[in-house]
Amino acid sequence: MDKQQLRKDIKQRLQGMTDKDEQSNKIANLLLGCDLSCKSICIYNSLPSEVNTKRLIEEFPKTKEVYLPVVEGDDILLVKVDKDTRYEEAKWGISEPVGKRLKPEDVKPDITITPLLGADVNLNRLGKGKGFYDRYFQKVNTYKIGLAFYEQLEENIPCDEWDKKLDMLVLPDRIIKRQ
């Protein structure tokens, strides 16, 4: 199956979900229970179709520098956030932080929690097709973590030469790490 058809299939499954909050809470509990010994972390502000990251964005600043991505042209820039950060709705309905925009290669986050549309147990990631994170990963050497609902797990994700594998995938009932 090609990437475009796979994206359509997964989006359809996501629309039919009734337990997003329950699965999101399980994923957050597993991730917060991990020893993420790092200084800095980049995490996306979730859309309604994605694993909810709100709780993680509230918890991580207690122990780490936290950055959220903002889209500028074809690139991702990062804004440092904390409990007092103000947000504005941006393109695609994403709530983006207001603040100084930094180049990812200047920040070099130790960990990046990356959005995905689909993933497989071999840690291949299917993005939404815009290439933002493919370009981001070319600039930053970071530990890549994906968060996925059961409905996003595929047997096999087709890959191109520019696709970067995840280092870790967090599902509601387990964590898969690269060996």
Name all domains of the chain by residue range, CATH numbers in brackets.
3-14+37-174 (3.40.50.10420)
pLDDT at 175: 96
Q: Which amino acid is at 8?
A: K
Rounded mean pLDDT, 45-73: 94
Query: If pLDDT is split at 50, 70 and 90, which confidence band does 179 have?
Result: confident
Give whole-number Cα distances, 175 to 44, 57, 153, 168, in Å.
19, 20, 13, 7
Query: If pLDDT is split at 50, 70 and 90, which confidence band does 129 have?
Result: confident
Contact criterion met (CB below 8 Å) for 102 and 77: yes
For the chain, give the percent of residues with pLDDT over 70.
99
Arithmetic mean of pLDDT over the chain? 93
| Beta strands in the chain, from DSSP E residues, in sequence order | 40-43, 65-72, 75-81, 87-89, 95-97, 111-114, 118-120, 125-126, 143-147, 153-154, 168-170, 175-177
Query: If pLDDT is split at 50, 70 and 90, which confidence band does 160 have?
Result: confident
DSSP single-letter state for residue 158: -
- Model pTM score: 0.94
Query: If pLDDT is split at 50, 70 and 90, which confidence band does 65 have?
Result: very high
pLDDT at 131: 82
pLDDT for residue 30 is more than 80: yes
